[in-house]
Amino acid sequence: MVGSPFGLEDLRACLAGIARVELKGMGLLREQPQLLAGSAPIPRAQLVEAVTEIVAYTGRCAAAARQLAQLTPIPLRTVDIVEYVL
């Protein structure tokens, strides 16, 4: 196959370049790990907002996964994945 070699390290670099999603709930857990024990005094509005954001993000991820699962495979004839070249 002729083309640009694309290896595992290239894929890793590509995925590592994706910006992290900062969710308010995860920030709260980082700042106050005692939240898991239920003993942290968090204002109810802030907690509702953080939980709502996590639930919405989870729904978007599930929808994206469903869409990806339904995609038709496309043969890449111009890219060599060096780990799979015979």
**DSSP character at residue 18:** S
pTM of the model: 0.60
What's the pLDDT tens digit per position in 46-69?
Answer: 888 999 999 999 999 999 999 999
In this predicted structure, what is the pLDDT of residue 11? Answer: 79
Amino acid occupying residue 28: L
What's the pLDDT tens digit per position in 17-52?
Answer: 998 889 998 888 888 777 666 666 778 898 889 999
Q: How far apart are CA 30 and CA 27, in angstroms?
A: 5
- Cβ atoms 22, 57 nearer than 8 A: no
Considering Cα of 44, then 19, then 78, then 81, what sign does the dihedral take? negative
- Cβ atoms 76, 1 nearer than 8 A: no
51's tokens: 């939980």
- Other C-beta atoms closer than 10 Å to the C-beta of 50 total 19
